[in-house]
Amino acid sequence: MKFGILFAYWTHDWTGDYRYYLKKAKELGLDILEIAAGDLLQMTDSQLNRLKMLADELDLEISCNIGPAKQYDVASGDPLIRANGIRFLTSIMERMEQLGSHTLAGVMYTYWPNDFTDLDKPALWTRGVESCAEMGRTAQQLGIDLCLEVVNRYETHILNTAEEAVQFCREVGNPNVKILLDTFHMNIEEDSIAKAIHCAGDLLGHLHVGEGNRRMPGQGSLPWAEIGTALRGIGYNGSVVMEPFVLPGGQVGKDIKVWRDLSGGADEEKLDRDAKMALSVLKQNFLR
Question: Do 76 and 127 touch, CB atoms closer than 8 A?
Answer: yes
72 Ramachandran zone, left/alpha/beta (phi>0; psi -120 to 50)? alpha
Strands (E), 198-267: 204-209, 239-242
Alpha carbons 189 and 8: distance in angstroms, whole number:
24
Amino acid letter, residue 105: A
Active site residue: 61, 134, 155, 243, which one?
243
243 is catalytic: yes
49 neighbors 35 (Cβ within 8 angstroms): no
What is the C-alpha separation between 129 and 108, in angstroms, rounded? 10
SS3 label, residue 36 = strand
Say whether 34 is catalytic: no
Q: Which one of the listed residues 34, 61, 149, 189 is annotated catalytic?
A: 149
Active site residues: 149, 243
